Amino acid sequence: MASISERTFIAIKPDGVQRGLVGEIIRRFEQKGFKLVAMKLTHASEDLLREHYIDLKDRPFYDGLVHYMHSGPVVAMVWEGLNVIKTGRVMLGETNPMDSKPGTIRGDLCVQVGRNIIHGSDSLESAEAEINLWFTPEELVEYRSCAHEWIYE
């Protein structure tokens, strides 16, 4: 079982920001019971984005993805909670919105894979790397939520 303090990196992509979906996405993570420990609105540099997507550098869509992610603001967040990485990925839905179930973020809010509004870490290793890439340790806020006892046994 994963630790209650497991963390994941979630980014609302430029299309999600431009469409005004930031509040809806945050609402879903908060309603699930996850704790927000860092958040910022940023216009990510191409260097940061190239590093973030380094594992896709040999794919034909890599340059287009970096260009798209650099085209507007991104909301970068760190969420904490029990099994937040796995559960967060389920909440996001499949990478291709056409394969995503209703009730997921992508299943409810987007149509095409090239505009799938959100990114989420897919493993503990990628979460740690992405959090360290986007945030300094000082930007991660440590606190105990007053709802903790109502969420966890």
Q: What are phi and psi of 42, to 5 degrees?
A: -145, 155
Closest by Cα among 5, 72, 73, 79 to 39: 79
Distance CA 48, CA 29 (A): 25
Q: Which active-site residues does the annotation give?
A: 119
DSSP letters spanning 44-103: --HHHHHHHTGGGTTSTTHHHHHHHHTSS-EEEEEEESTTHHHHHHHHH--SSGGGPPTT
Distance CA 50, CA 86 (A): 24
